[in-house]
Chain A
Amino acid sequence: MILSSIVFLPLLFALLVAIWPKANTVRHLALGLSVIEFIVSLSLFKSFDASATGLQMVEKFMWIERFGIQYFMGIDGISLWLVLLTTFLTPIIILASWTSITERVKGFHICLFILQTAMLGTFLAMDAVFFYVFWELSLVPMYFMVGIWGGARRIYATVKFFIYTMAGSVLMLVAIIYMMYLTQEATGQMSASLLDFYQLQIPFVGGTFFSLQTLLFFAFALAFAIKVPAFPVHTWLPDAHVEAPTPGSVILAGVMLKMGTYGFMRWVIPLFPEASEYWAWLFMLIGTVGIIYGALVAMVQPDVKKLVAYSSVSHMGYILLGLFAFNAYGMGGGLYQMLNHGISTGALFILIGMIYERTHSREISKYGGLAGVLPIFTIFFFIITLSSIAVPMTNGFVGEFFILLGTYQSHPVFAYFAVSGVVLGAVYMLWMFKRVFFGEQGELVKDEHHPLHDLNAREITVLVPLVIMVFWMGLFPNHFLNFSKASIDHLVNNRSNYNLTIVQPGASEVMHAQGGN
């Protein structure tokens, strides 16, 4: 029951927040509940077997029998860290939004908790329709978060976000239904279970564009690419980020984008191995273009939040590159980079939110010399900047290094180009850092009527766990990689004939996917 509790506790929390009578303590309640959720999710480690390659802690029963749709959840080394990333970031987000969200506080936390359920469900669902329900559900609270608590152009941004991502995923739904019929053809029994999908032999007639596998591949890949967001379907992201309130940006960059890359890892690559291999060049190209394009556009942004938003396009390009390298370095690095990006970019958005709260502006040119006024803030910002540009000993370095190593092994050409993104990343981040923190004091900084205050205890509490993670993940990557290694290796080695087994709790025997019921 542990997975179900992790997924649905937040939904219960949302209800609790909704009926909580005291408006002034809603924040405390929400914070407490989200910490409980985090602690509950930590209990995963108690029974997680890092050496197993299959699905663990599986819960499944028939949901819609007519179509073989199951309530089916399971966890492995790939989803484990994404679940923890989600539960780890949520209390931080609540604490970070303590003073920035002042209106409709209750509604905000309800949205946040519903969103948490949707995201966790997406990472844990192992049935296609069940997965799709969570996938789409996640749009609704995010839509409200940007639309209600966002900036001036929030309505444009939030509608664009909703329509873009929805447009991507409806074709995926058609593909899912089609695959359910394929399972019926193959086994006589309709099923939407991912494990049954893995068993399908979908025809791929040597590279022709209209082979069935290619079409299904693109139906899924489009949905995930929009979510990632990969170049050229990334345009909703800068808008959404700029207009979203700080917590919305953090959750968007921290977790929601990972639903896309996770989708590639869990669904696209193992389900359509030949098509993935054939079209890998396209996605590596998209990834590489994204890295360079995102970095170049970030460089010229006058708005610091937009800069970080475009840097996300760049960073997510790395992940795509790593995943389509199809080797342990690339995929492992890709997964690691998902966590890194969640932490570093999440932290960057929080930091930007803190300074925005003080000055109500995000324009780089109006800052300058901030280091002299806000020393603690500067230190935190510097550490996170280092992590973002992947300086050794920080988390970012490990991920990017592995990805480039993996890419070099499989497609060196892409690695040559992608590596320039490392340099460009350093350029735009450090240049921004220089302009904001050093030099002449800008008009916002020296405004004597509103002296800037350095970080308070609450804000430091928000940032410290993130900084700890930056160094922990940078210095001891094996603490994290060891948990995913078996699953990643299994994916890499059996990509063309992938299957997942269900690991029975407490027993050493492994049941085969098809037999396990």
Chain B
Amino acid sequence: MNINVGLSDVLLISPMIALFLASLLPITMKVLRGNREQHALITLGQALTGIVAAVVLLVVFGGSDKTAFNNGLIFDGVTQWMGIIALAGAGAAMVMMYENPATTGKQFSELIFLAMSSAVGMLILVSAVDLLMVFIGLEMMSLALYLMIAMSHEEKLSKEAALKYFILGSFASALFLYGVAFIFGSTGGTNILSFMDNAAELVQTSRLFLFGVTFVILGFCFKVSIAPFHAWTPDVYQGAPTPHTAFMATAVKTVSFAAFLRIIATKSLTGSDQLFDILQWMAVITMIVGNAAAIMQNNFKRMIAYSSVAHSGYLMVGLITAGVSDNGAFGASGVIFYLLAYGLMTIGAFAIAAMLEKSENHIVNIDDLAGFAKQRPMLALCLTVFLLSLAGIPPTLGFFGKFYMFNAAIGEGLLWLAIWGMLNSVIGVYYYLRPIVVMYMKEGNAEIAGHSLNATTVTAVVMALAIVLMGFVSGPIFSAVEKSLL
């Protein structure tokens, strides 16, 4: 195999290089200063500079439809949009890390280094079209994440979360790798582009290939918490420090869906009715399981965690749509737009949760929100916007996310999936209303934690404004996404 690495390859991966360099700054500084932390704000500034640089470079080089490193990476619309959404989510999560009691302290530089490394893995993951590249991206992102969760000086919960995440994540990786081996065995290659056009046919003719694709898909089902592989989600989301949870729920989820999308977009689903049916049922079951379990939660973070399982179910509908449609761009842009909306509202919801935590071991229950609207009307309003958007009430961005994605599903004839999705969002309304009920309609004296959380507050307000305002211009945004994918 001939590998030529030219300047164009380096330019294309410049966002990752920028991120990587920025990630080195804080720990290098720490070493140079004799193992003393520099001011946390400087660390954060270095990280955010790296992220902004990466976003700019991604905008410049991202949507060019070029491939790099022997077709290992591709830089198309999916890379660009999903990359930007993930980086924005990661950036917002880092802002929250800066102020969170669980994450500020002696090891902030190391934490930021890990988060940035994880972000590099994410960028690899969104652009990878070779299954081994996907694996590298996946592991780079995940390994850093396991460490991040484990290193928080919080007591038991986060250690337990890290261990659970590590074991199940490794299991998912193993499944994935197993599938890649099968694909390699049946096609003699691991590059998606090489079997892109005849995947549907291969699924029908080669049992080995079908197994391979199935295992790869199952690996991703673990990663994006599709039922019945979702069981780790609530525990890990609850146990991890809140900023890390925000990081996982937005950035990690976005890029995992991006890679998932690339596998599904091979149209291998159209070759096997069984696989197609099973995935549809998994989507339905995911929505039901996530929503039904969320109803029963009293822990705020756990509720959002289960609701994020349900959202994975909705997104699965979009993925299936993208997988079976001749005009894949429509379904895929539905998924991207949904992830954009989901990212904004989830970051916002976790920002509020982070503000309510009094210490790193403090568990925020929904009942603790009583009287929040009286104490902090502005923040209560923001949380209301996030919850209504998560529930899909117009004119918030969340509504348009659902509207575009289910629109695509109906257009592809997946009417029953759309109906399931819609009915499930009614169940969702029930538990999204609960915190609002408690905040506005119950007496109490919920107060945000004593320490100053200015940046987190700004994050929440910005997200709320974005959710309301972007609802009105959702059309052009969606068209822009779709156009970049064609």
Contacts and interface: CB of A to CB of B under 8 A. Distances in A.
B247 interface: no
Contact of B393 (A69, A139, A147, A154): A139
Interface centre among B415, B418, B433, B478 (most CB of A within 10 A): B433
A440 B425 CA distance: 54
A180 B426 CA distance: 22
Contacts of B482: 66
Given A66-B478, A177-B406, A171 B419 contact: yes
Contacts of A140: 388, 393
Given A137-B395, A148-B441, A163-B426, A173 B403 contact: yes
A64 B475 contact: yes
A132 interface: yes
A63 interface: yes
Given A173-B403, A178-B415, A147 B440 contact: yes
Nearest to A219: B419
Interface string B383-425: 0000010000111000100010011001100010011001101
B474 interface: yes
Given A177-B407, A178-B410, A178-B415, A167 B426 contact: yes
B131 to A, nearest CB: 33
A181 B395 CA distance: 22
Chain A binding surface, main DSSP class: helix
B171 interface: no
B419 A132 contact: no
B441 A147 contact: yes
A42 to B, nearest CB: 28
B418 A166 contact: no
A158 B440 CA distance: 12
Contacts of A69: 475
Interface string A129-166: 10011001101100110011000001100110011001
B418 A174 contact: yes
Given A139-B393, A162-B429, A163-B429, A65 B479 contact: yes
Contacts of A181: 410-411
A170 interface: yes
Contacts of A154: 441
Interface string A176-196: 011011000000000000000
Given A155-B437, A162-B429, A170-B422, A129 B403 contact: yes
A174 B441 contact: no
Contacts, number: 78
B33 to A, nearest CB: 48
Interface in B433-486: 433, 437, 440-441, 474-476, 478-479, 482
Contacts of B388: 140
Nearest to A147: B441
Nearest to A170: B422
A174 B429 contact: no
B410 A162 contact: no
Contacts of B475: 63-67, 69
A64 B478 contact: yes
Contacts of A133: 394-395, 399
- Range for the number of chain B residues in contact with chain A: 20 to 34
Nearest to B402: A173
B422 A174 contact: yes
Interface in B87-114: none
Contact of A162 (B394, B411, B423, B433): B433
B479 A66 contact: yes
A286 B213 CA distance: 53
B423 A170 contact: yes
A64 B478 CA distance: 9
A147 B407 CA distance: 33
Nearest to B411: A181
A147 B442 CA distance: 10
Contacts of A158: 437, 441
B441 A155 contact: yes
Nearest to B426: A167
Contacts of B426: 163, 166-167, 170
Interface string A256-280: 0000000000000000000000000
A147 B423 CA distance: 24
A77 B433 CA distance: 38
A162 B393 CA distance: 11
Interface string B310-334: 0000000000000000000000000
B415 A174 contact: yes
Contacts of A64: 474-475, 478
Given A170-B426, A177-B418, A178-B415, A159 B433 contact: yes
A173 B441 contact: no
Nearest to A181: B411
A148 B384 CA distance: 14
A136 B407 contact: no
Interface in B350-389: 388
A67 B410 CA distance: 13
Interface centre among B388, B399, B407 (most CB of A within 10 A): B407
Contacts of A167: 423, 426
Contact of A137 (B394, B423, B437, B474): B394
A170 B427 CA distance: 11
Contacts of A173: 403, 422
B437 A147 contact: yes
A137 B423 CA distance: 18
A385 B419 CA distance: 45
B430 A159 contact: yes
A276 to B, nearest CB: 22
Given A129-B403, A162-B433, A163-B429, A144 B440 contact: yes
Given A137-B395, A163-B430, 4 more contacts: A66-B478, A133-B394, A136-B394, A171-B422
Interface of B: 388, 393-395, 399, 403, 406-407, 410-411, 415, 418-419, 422-423, 425-426, 429-430, 433, 437, 440-441, 474-476, 478-479, 482
10 contacts: A64-B474, A66-B475, A67-B475, A69-B475, A133-B399, A136-B393, A147-B440, A154-B441, A170-B422, A171-B419
A-B pairs, 9 with minimum CB distance: A64-B475, A170-B422, A133-B394, A167-B426, A147-B441, A136-B394, A66-B479, A177-B410, A133-B395
